[in-house]
Amino acid sequence: MAISIIFGLIFATLLTLGMVPVLYSLFFRVNFKGFQYGGE
């Protein structure tokens, strides 16, 4: 029982962390080309 809860939480977390940025970029047409990491 506990293992299914743990795997469910892990799956939901990975799905959320993977799908939210993808759906956001699709809905709002975010362009990640030319995006530079860093403050400058």
Whether the predicted pLDDT of 9 surpasses 90? yes
How far is Cα 37 from Cα 11, in angstroms, rounded to an integer? 28
pLDDT at 29: 79
Length of the chain: 40
pLDDT (tens digit per residue) in 11-40: 999 999 999 888 888 888 777 777 677 666
Largest Cα separation within the chain, whole Å, is 49
Q: What is the DSSP letter of 29?
A: T
Higher-confidence position of 6 and 29: 6
CA 25-31-34 angle, to 5 degrees, is 140
